[in-house]
Amino acid sequence: MPAAPVIEIRDLVKNYGPKKAVDLLSLRLQKGEIYGFLGPNGAGKTTTILALLGLTEPTAGQISVLGLDPTRQPLEVKRRVSYLPENMGFYRDLTGRENLRYVARLNGLEKREAETRIQEALRRVGLQEEGDKLFQAYSRGMRQRLGLAALLLKNPEVMILDEPTLGLDPQGIASILKLIRSLSKEQAITVLLCSHQLQQVQEICDRVGIMNQGRLVAQGTIQELGGQGLESEEGKRMGLQEIYMRYFREG
């Protein structure tokens, strides 16, 4: 019998006025898996994520994160789930370490515990040298890595990443992806990864789901997706790029 899913969404609907942002979405994530969440801009990915964190109230449907209801217990969910928003920033006039200290305090971490976790997180993302520089002196890649360090502070069981590689150079992307992958595998962290960079999603994700206009139009491992509707041998060799384009060629 499979273990209870870490994230379970059933028939989620979210309307913004007359516009349906999410339309009857259902999703299950198992412990320790990396799930690639794909789809064009405005497909409803970010809305789904916000609902998972209790930052927006669903119009209908059930959500369970680690067995909790995010609408009712947002704080408990946010204590165990780390979220890297697409446009997250830090205070420019503080150093990386001071920024992390503030995040640790917001999480109610006790001081000594916070310091060791900050040190460990900085080491993990390779910023131990730059920890005491002002945030405004950080490069784009360093900022993104500091973002990941902030996520690690609370020893999360789930990480939700919204475009973590946006605007990074190829080495930066590779190192961030490697980091995400190793974190997830070592500590059995469940990862929900939103990205438009199909190549990278293909590299690190166990499963992918493709969203369009608020609906999940396809879901499965890359091989499964490639196999759908095609003769098997050809389908298995298909990259995510072709699969993705197949879903949106008509639209």
Partner 1 sequence: MRTILRKELADHLNSTRVVILFCLILCVSLLITNTVSLNIRSAIDRGAKDPHLFLLLFTTSGHFFSLVQFIAFFGPLIGIIMGFDAINRERNEGTLSLILSQPVHRDAIVNGKFLGGMAVIATMVLSILLLISGLGMVVIGVIPTAEQVLRLLIYAVLSILYLGFWLGLAILFSILLRSVGTSALAAIAFWIVFSFFVSLGSNLIAGVLAPVENSRDAEQVGRNARVAAMVNRASPVSLYSEAASMLMDPYRKTTKSFVLVGPMEGMSMMRFNNPLDVPQSMLVVAPYLITILALTSICFAASYLVFMRQEIRSL
Least distance (Å) between residue 147 CB and partner 1: 8
Please give the single-letter amino acid code of residue 173: I
If the CB atoms of residues 27 and 150 are measured against partner 1, the closer one turns out to be 150
Helices (H), ranges, the chain: 45-52, 74-80, 96-106, 111-124, 140-152, 170-187, 198-204, 222-227, 232-236, 240-248
Least distance (Å) between residue 99 CB and partner 1: 8
Among 14, 23, 24, residue whose Cα is nearest residue 59:
14
If the CB atoms of residues 103 and 173 are measured against partner 1, the closer one turns out to be 103
Share in percent of the chain as helix, strand, coil (round to 5): 40, 25, 35
Site residues for partner 1 per CB under 8 A: 16, 46-47, 50, 53, 55-56, 75-76, 78-79, 82-85, 87-93, 102-103, 105-108, 150
With beta carbons less than 8 A apart as the criterion, state whether 208 and 225 touch: yes
Least distance (Å) between residue 128 CB and partner 1: 21
Least distance (Å) between residue 107 CB and partner 1: 6
If the CB atoms of residues 61 and 220 are measured against partner 1, the closer one turns out to be 61
If the CB atoms of residues 92 and 236 are measured against partner 1, the closer one turns out to be 92
